[in-house]
Chains A and B, each alone.
Chain A
Amino acid sequence: MNSRKLKDKISSRLMLSATVFACLLFFVMLLGLFGKASPILSVVPIDDLLFSKDWSPMAGKFGFYPFIVGTFWVTGLAVIIAVPISLLSSIYLSEYAGNRLRETVKPLIDLLAGIPSVVYGLWGVLVVVPFIKNTLAPILGAETIGGYSVLAGGIVLSIMVFPVIISITTEVLKTVSTDLREVSLSVGATQWQTIKYVVLRKSSPGIFAAIVLGFSRAFGETMAVLMVVGNVAKIPSSVFDPAYPMPALIANTYGEMMSLPFYDSVIMLAALFLLLVVLIFNVLARMVLVKMERSVV
């Protein structure tokens, strides 16, 4: 075998092993988390862990429920704030804006996705939290502990989710063929009617997938949320109450209370839970998007 062929063979093998390594990592992490989480699972049944409200590690009581609820509150609020704004701006960008504006705005939105989350967190602490404490809560007559709340987390997170939803939705809307728009316009529909009845209808699975992907980014986001959400292990009763989402729990306490029996196992279980939920969201959303792309071709 000549040296050129040998090189070709070696380099392809090398690339293959790098790829396999990257893919294996996910399974290694999954197995590792599961291995570490299994001690607590063998002692306490999983539904007790998930649905018990009692979180007192000192007493050996590990109820995840407040954290699960906290996570969903913050994520849900973020999505409620982010979806209308992102949808409207994607529709504007893909249907109304001219090429030049679109080409200018898109990189800006992508840039938003690249800002480190700790910067969003800082901005939340400096701007959003005081705004809630000094302006919003007094106006609405709500009580808040210094402004650190589900609402603050939701607002910060929603801004982090924008770029994901906007850029995917814009792509999805672009997959709707011009022919369809022309057909609708040609019977005398206005542009808005065309968007409402034809474009959005055709792209609704893709938009749904975009929202789910945004949701899964929000679900696992740790740093920015942790900085503004208050971190109190109680089920929030209003958006002005603090909450304690799961990623924040993991980041805050792992490595600190390791002397407690089962503690690290519980935290690993939380991590496993997060990983699985985000995985499921992602897989579902990608499946929808891939199906849409195929149907376009």
Chain B
Amino acid sequence: MSDTHINIQDFNTYYSGHQALKNISVDIPKNQITAIIGPSGCGKSTLLKCMNRLIDLTDGATCSGKILIDGEDIFDKKTDITDIRKKMGLLAQKPTPLPMSIYENVAYGPRIHGTRKKSKLDAVVEKYLTMVGLWEEVKDRLDSPASKLSIGQQQRLCLARGLAVEPEIILCDEPTSALDPLSSQHIEEQLLRLKKDYTIVIVTHNIHQAMRLADYVVHLYLGELVEHGLASEVFENPKEERTRAYIDGTFFTDLAIDKEINLKGNVCPYNFVYAKQALHTLEKDDVLRIIVDYPTAVTEVPRGMETDGHNVIRVKQINESDWEIIIQKK
């Protein structure tokens, strides 16, 4: 295995009391693609946000433990966070061009870091737009607003903007979830091409994408690190039952739901009790779908059901207030 680039040690994150990440320790290898997988709400994005300390923007979030990048503790008070962030390009879930022209978007980072010369900026813009395969499409309209581009083009522009500050790491937070299949494929191809020069960390809930891209896999579930290892090993022969369930579960394109109960408006432990009763009425291997809107239930109901030996297939936020929990009776 190659060198470690990001070294996470006993890392915890709390959102005003609620623990979002629990004792995460994992090494992320250099110049490879590491996929962080797991159901929604498992802490994938939180972990990513901690790596470039965008977590600082969240009111009430606190962290403990260490994240070392090239051996430097990014949560250390002496660390200059802008230097750390400069080392890491971010590709967000939703393409987010800055409110300026295409050219200015790419030149933004280098400008911030003191490049003033027009000829130098021109070269940077051309280089990185070419690298993401956008140059030919936009070279005649560099001064038009970035918001005029298609969504897929915007995402490639965002990638170019991140690359323009010459980072070592690229952090991607479900970078293709807002894109059409063709644009997604474009981005995936770029990432595969970029990995020889960059360490790439990609958060994805798309297991197929993780399989296509990843060299290394980190599986989080409800804030805990379930399993991590080489992609080939984790996908073909997961050591943990929960990983297997997750990989298998997400392969069910449409799950046959045998029973569905709506527990909205119920608080713990009532939703827990109702879920248990519902499972009791089902046959082995039947699938139960529960809808909850009580935050604690999102973590506690699956945990309780697993303790009882059932198989939690999916925990997913389905709208602003509601979560679905899909459980298979064992």
Interface residues of A (CB under 8 A from B): 98-99, 177-190, 193, 197-198, 201-202
Among all A-B residue pairs, the 9 with the closest Cβ atoms:
A188-B86, A186-B90, A187-B109, A179-B96, A188-B82, A188-B85, A202-B99, A189-B112, A183-B96
Q: How many angstroms between the C-alpha atoms of A198 and B57 in the bound complex?
A: 16
Main secondary structure of the interface of B (DSSP, over half): mixed
On whether A185 and B165 interact (CB within 8 A), knowing A98-B59, A180-B98, A201-B99, the answer reads no
Q: How many angstroms between the C-alpha atoms of A177 and B99 in the bound complex?
A: 11
Chain A residues near B112 (CB, 8 Å)?
Answer: 187-189, 193, 197
CB distance from B114 to the nearest CB of A (A): 11
Q: Do B161 and A187 have beta carbons less than 8 Å apart?
A: yes
Q: Name which of B60, B82, B171 has the most chain A CB atoms within 10 A of its CB.
A: B82
Q: A181, A188, A197: which contacts B57 (Cβ < 8 A)?
A: A181
Q: B59, B94, B99: which contacts A198 (Cβ < 8 A)?
A: B99
Chain B residues near A185 (CB, 8 Å)?
Answer: 54, 57, 85
Main secondary structure of the interface of A (DSSP, over half): helix
CB distance from B48 to the nearest CB of A (A): 11
On whether A182 and B57 interact (CB within 8 A), knowing A187-B89, A188-B109, the answer reads yes
Known pairs A185-B85, A186-B162, A188-B165; list 4 more (Cβ under 8 Å). Answer: A182-B90, A186-B171, A187-B112, A188-B83
Give 20 A-B contacts (CB < 8 Å), ordered by A residue: A99-B59, A182-B54, A182-B57, A182-B92, A182-B96, A184-B108, A186-B89, A186-B162, A187-B86, A187-B90, A187-B108, A187-B112, A187-B164, A188-B83, A188-B113, A188-B165, A189-B108, A189-B112, A190-B82, A201-B100
The residue on A at minimum CB distance from B49 is: A182
Chain B residues near A180 (CB, 8 Å)?
Answer: 96, 98-99
Q: A178, A183, A188: which contacts B158 (Cβ < 8 A)?
A: A183
Number of B interface residues in the complex (CB < 8 A): 28
Total A-B residue pairs with C-beta atoms closer than 8 Å? Answer: 69
> Quick one: CB contact mask for B79-119 with A, threshold 8 Å, 1 for yes?
00011011011101010101110000000110011000000
Asked if B52 is at the interface of the complex by the 8 Å CB criterion, the answer is yes
CB distance from B52 to the nearest CB of A (A): 6
CB distance from B90 to the nearest CB of A (A): 4
Q: How many angstroms between the C-alpha atoms of A193 and B108 in the bound complex?
A: 11
Chain B residues near A178 (CB, 8 Å)?
Answer: 57
CB distance from B183 to the nearest CB of A (A): 18
Interface residues of B (CB under 8 A from A): 52, 54, 57, 59-60, 82-83, 85-86, 88-90, 92, 94, 96, 98-100, 108-109, 112-113, 158, 161-162, 164-165, 171
Chain A residues near B165 (CB, 8 Å)?
Answer: 187-188
The residue on A at minimum CB distance from B58 is: A178
Q: How many angstroms between the C-alpha atoms of A114 and B87 in the bound complex?
A: 50
Q: How many angstroms between the C-alpha atoms of A198 and B108 in the bound complex?
A: 10
Chain B residues near A177 (CB, 8 Å)?
Answer: 96
Q: B98, B113, B164: which contacts A183 (Cβ < 8 A)?
A: B98
The residue on A at minimum CB distance from B85 is: A188
Q: Name which of A98, A99, A178, A182 has the most chain B CB atoms within 10 A of its CB.
A: A182
Chain A residues near B86 (CB, 8 Å)?
Answer: 187-188
Chain A residues near B96 (CB, 8 Å)?
Answer: 177, 179-180, 182-183
Q: Name which of A99, A177, A193 has the most chain B CB atoms within 10 A of its CB.
A: A193
Q: Name which of A99, A189, A193, A202 has the most chain B CB atoms within 10 A of its CB.
A: A189
Q: Do B98 and A186 have beta carbons less than 8 Å apart?
A: no
CB distance from B215 to the nearest CB of A (A): 23
Q: How many angstroms between the C-alpha atoms of A183 and B54 in the bound complex?
A: 10
Chain A residues near B164 (CB, 8 Å)?
Answer: 187
The residue on A at minimum CB distance from B99 is: A202
The residue on A at minimum CB distance from B86 is: A188
Q: Do B90 and A189 have beta carbons less than 8 Å apart?
A: no
Q: How many angstroms between the C-alpha atoms of A190 and B84 in the bound complex?
A: 12
Q: Do A179 and B57 have beta carbons less than 8 Å apart?
A: no
Q: How many angstroms between the C-alpha atoms of A198 and B92 in the bound complex?
A: 17
Chain B residues near A184 (CB, 8 Å)?
Answer: 98, 108
Chain A residues near B85 (CB, 8 Å)?
Answer: 185-188
Chain B residues near A183 (CB, 8 Å)?
Answer: 90, 92, 96, 98, 158, 161
Q: How many angstroms between the C-alpha atoms of A181 and B90 in the bound complex?
A: 12
The residue on B at minimum CB distance from A180 is: B96
Q: How many angstroms between the C-alpha atoms of A181 and B88 in the bound complex?
A: 15
Q: How many angstroms between the C-alpha atoms of A173 and B264 in the bound complex?
A: 35
The residue on B at minimum CB distance from A98 is: B59
Q: Do B92 and A197 have beta carbons less than 8 Å apart?
A: no
The residue on A at minimum CB distance from B110 is: A187
Q: Name which of A98, A185, A198, A202 has the most chain B CB atoms within 10 A of its CB.
A: A185
Q: How many angstroms between the C-alpha atoms of A193 and B96 in the bound complex?
A: 17
